[in-house]
Amino acid sequence: MYTSLKEECYEANLQLPKLGLVLFTFGNVSAVDRQRAVFAIKPSGVSYETLTPADIVICDYEGKVVEGTLRPSSDTKTHAYLYKQWEAIGGVAHTHSTYAVAWAQAGLDIPVFGTTHADHTHRDIPCAPVLTDAMIQGDYEHETGCQILDCLTEKALRYQETEMVLLQNHGPFTWGKTAAKAVYNSAVLEELAKMAYLTLQINPATPRLKDALCNKHYERKHGQNAYYGQGC
């Protein structure tokens, strides 16, 4: 019944180990079907080497299983919350990639130091604060989604423009119009995190990218008059 959705989710999940973004059973990707108000997600604790499309679990926006025999990812309620809140996204990814996690553990936003960063977002990549004890002891995964949303809201960031976030002491979450784009954003985030770290190692006093150059690179790729690529 959900064959194509499961296949999309499956293919996106397989990209995580191929891109070096996860080890063992770490991480997960989901893909949503807006017309049927369900999403597909990787089952919890299943190796990518043995994962099959049939293993993918279908859930509703409350995180309840609609189809599947395996337990869905432990992060399912986080994905569900983001799908409910952000109607324009089609996929969500969560990884434990090294440099992104390092920034998250440090509790720091990733600053815009260069045009590679600005090509993808003209804002710092935000780090949402660690959850409170009450959040952790309550509906933890749901509260994780709330913390992500609150972080973007407080920093006046649009989820369509900043498709990535860090959660302090946890790691990165990314999203996009498709599951494949969410994975792409996870790979980009890891590279930006690595570049920023190395930049500060070489020169701890590195200045931020100047606004004019930052905005130019973002707008030429994403703005109303964008001219990057072969689109009409």
Tens digits of residue pLDDT in 120-150: 999 999 999 999 999 999 999 999 999 999 9
Domain for residue 218, yes or no? no
Residue 68 C-beta-side C-alpha neighbours within 13 Å:
28
Domain for residue 113, yes or no? no
Could you tell me if 171 and 82 are in contact, meaning their C-beta atoms sit under 8 angstroms apart?
Answer: no
What pLDDT is stored for residue 232 in this prediction? 44
Q: What does DSSP say about strands 164-167 and 127-128: parallel, antiparallel, or unpaired?
A: parallel
Domain for residue 82, yes or no? yes
Residue 93, classed as helix, strand or coil, is: strand
Domain span at residue 53 reads 3-107+128-200
Domain for residue 150, yes or no? yes
Instruction: Show which residues are catalytic.
Output: 119, 228
Judge whether residue 231 has pLDDT over 70: no
Mean pLDDT for 5-21 is 99
Q: What is the mean pLDDT of the chain?
A: 97
Residues 159-210 have pLDDT tens digits of 999 999 999 999 999 999 999 999 999 999 999 999 999 999 999 999 999 9
User: Residue 21 sits in a domain of what CATH number?
Assistant: 3.40.225.10
Q: Burial level of 122, CB count in 10 A (0-12/13-18/19+)?
A: buried
Residues 211-227 have pLDDT tens digits of 999 999 999 988 888 88
Domain for residue 206, yes or no? no
Domain for residue 123, yes or no? no
Residues 54-99 have pLDDT tens digits of 999 999 999 999 999 999 999 999 999 999 999 999 999 999 999 9
What pLDDT is stored for residue 227 in this prediction? 81
Give 146's contacts (C-beta < 8 A, 6+ positions apart).
Answer: 81, 135
Q: How many domains does the chain have?
A: 1
Could you tell me if 12 and 180 are in contact, meaning their C-beta atoms sit under 8 angstroms apart?
Answer: yes
Q: Burial level of 1, CB count in 10 A (0-12/13-18/19+)?
A: exposed
Domain for residue 224, yes or no? no
